A and B are shown apart, each in its own frame.
Chain A
Amino acid sequence: MKYSSQAVAKPYFIFALILLAGEILFGLLMAIQYIYGDFLFPLIPFNVLRMVHTNLLIVLLLNGFMGATYYLVPEEAESELWSSKLAIITFWIFAAAGVATILGYLFVPYAELTELTFNNLLPTMGREFLEQPLPTKVGIVVVVLSYILNTAMTVLKGRKTVITTVLLSGLFGLAVFFLFAFYVPENLIMDKFFWWFTVHLWVEATWELIMGAILAFVLIKTTGVDREHIDKWLYLIIAMTMVSGILGTGHHFFYMGAPEYWLWIGSISSAVEPLPFFLMILFAYTMTRDRKIKHDNEIALTWAKGTAIMSFLGAGVWGFFHTLAPVNMFTHGTQLTAAHGHLSFYGAYIMIIFTMVSYAMPILRGRPHGNCQKAQKVELNSFWMMNIGMMGLTLALSAAGIVQILDQRVGTELIGFMESQESIEGIYMIRAGFGALVFAGLLTYFYSFFVKEEAK
């Protein structure tokens, strides 16, 4: 570790990983309730399980991004963090707010929670992924602003690199688009339209900038490739992201009450959306081929290549499957969306955090050359378990979506939703099995942290 303030990244990484375990656990509970409707009912109804599952994901990703930023910014800026104290304070605020929110979901009926948390003053709750009570939403704004302040001040007093510029523009976009979470028009259609400004423009635009910056940083460190070369790739990737991703928001406006021209604009722009992810694969593999050094931490580079491939599959390929308007007419609102959501979030965002943790955590623990071979081997096993598990559950959900479409939407002998769901039960069991494999993979990953270093 070159700068002592980089150490603040450690609690962020650890907490993000703990939240990930919680997220997967709740995912498994949902997978079981999907098959056995009485499971955990009425103790934890499905909507609560789902809220915990998705909100844990959001909080863990923000935690991971913050940890990654606080680790890489001092090295990029060649200067200590502007305020490591602020970074630690915001860590505890964020952790406390996150835990309190999850406990609120679990122990207070949602309607009561809306009343307890002043939702009647400014209604923002009860919308997918943005279910957080008003105080939590305000807390997120405060934490994100202090995060941006800390990052910006560090960059301003030190060296400016393309990586930190891109990272900062991603963070700035993240903050701006979250503001739409506070805007809830009375008209459902208007509400949905602006809801996507937060949800889509986070995931398919600004977060991709953050991901690109982290990936570029790890590739510089593990391959030793010339920065000029890396910068060019980074610009090219995010250029394609912006060109396709912003107007690609249109693929959500096909069938929700927005005008017809989105059918064309959304289809055309989002057909280009796989391109930046494809460039990421070329980026990771070209840099590996042209590498100047052979870093002992091989597993970090494995994750970097993995995240490029899995995000291309999840966001690129699975996104493309249903992004053309005539296809989306039939796939809109089916398990195909869930399939795409799972693989893209995992491939792009969970895996970029694994990449960063795998690179930075050994250094933070006083192992500049990475973990020992044995620990890296365990980690490689967990890499494959999680990847195969996620791929398997994505394929299962895709199959479920296709059956749904055939049952409810194509032909003349249609059956209803509940009946169709019963016919999919076997597929849901397979999904749950692969989910369990992902969880086992994560536990294996955790175990790799505790493998004893060989005496040298």
Chain B
Amino acid sequence: MTERITKSMAKNIYYGGGTFALLIFIALTFDTVHQIPERSNEVDMTKSVVAGKKLWEDNNCVGCHTIVGEGAYYAPELMNVFQRRGASDEGAFKGYMQGWMAAQPLDTPNRRKMPQFHLTNEQVDNLSDFLIWTSKVNANEWPPTIEG
């Protein structure tokens, strides 16, 4: 098969094909950037949600957890933790989060440990708001089950 392909043909496929793919990619990028605000309900992205995202990053939460399926696989997925631990009730979830964050690290021998991050009550609420907002993103019906 390769005998019939010359070097200049291969070169043309590289430049032509590469450029073609790149152009489609750029066009779709513009469209995706246009659609993400609606799919992620950006209107509901309050100051608290933004503060929660910053806390999520500053404490490197993604170093153990996944969120929307991306991150480390040491600890549970958190896109749907609002449904799983808060039964989709904001008050219940925020209460749960305050208790959970204060109780870390749990005392169970050899269970994987979550560090104590010394967050204020307000910061924990920020994190809760961030996770609640994330749970409502349209991710094409992922995760498949509540256990994530």
CB within 8 Å of A: which of B72-126? 72-77, 105, 109-113, 115, 117
Task: Report whether A110 and B140 are in contact in the complex, using a CB–CB cutoff of 8 Å.
Answer: no
Contact of B142 among A50, A123, A269, A332 (CB under 8 A): A332
Task: Report whether B45 and A187 are in contact in the complex, using a CB–CB cutoff of 8 Å.
Answer: yes
Task: Report whether A409 and B145 are in contact in the complex, using a CB–CB cutoff of 8 Å.
Answer: yes
A125 and B33 in contact (CB under 8 A), knowing A235-B14, A337-B73?
no
Residues in chain A near residue B141, CB distance under 8 A? 329
Interface size classification for chain B: 35 or more
A46 vs chain B, min Cβ distance (A): 5
Residues in chain A near residue B75, CB distance under 8 A? 46, 417
- Residue A437 is within 8 A (CB to CB) of chain B in the complex: no
Task: Report whether B73 and A335 are in contact in the complex, using a CB–CB cutoff of 8 Å.
Answer: yes
Number of CB contacts from chain A to chain B under 8 A: 225
- Residue A330 is within 8 A (CB to CB) of chain B in the complex: yes
Size of A's binding interface in residues, CB under 8 A? 79
Residue interface bits B4-23, CB-to-A below 8 A is 1, else 0:
01110011011001101110
A125 and B112 in contact (CB under 8 A), knowing A243-B21, A255-B140?
no
Residues in chain B near residue A407, CB distance under 8 A? 147
A42 and B115 in contact (CB under 8 A), knowing A232-B7, A246-B18, A257-B39?
yes
Contact of A110 among B45, B59, B74, B112 (CB under 8 A): B59
Measured CB to CB, the residues of A under 8 A from B are 33-34, 36-38, 41-42, 45-48, 50-51, 110-111, 114, 119, 123, 125-128, 131, 184, 186-193, 228, 231-233, 235-236, 238-239, 242-243, 246-247, 249-250, 253-263, 265, 269, 282, 286, 329-330, 332-335, 337-338, 407-409, 414-418, 420-421
Residues in chain B near residue A256, CB distance under 8 A? 68-70, 139
Q: How far is the CA of A249 from the CA of B45 in the complex (A)?
A: 27
Contact of B144 among A127, A286, A329 (CB under 8 A): A329
Residues in chain B near residue A191, CB distance under 8 A? 53
Question: Can you list 9 pairs linking A and B with CB atoms under 8 Å apart?
Answer: A37-B111, A37-B112, A47-B63, A125-B58, A239-B17, A258-B36, A282-B2, A417-B147, A417-B148
**Which of B22, B32, B39, B109 has its CB near the most chain A CB atoms (within 10 A)?**
B32
A186 and B31 in contact (CB under 8 A), knowing A128-B72, A232-B10?
no
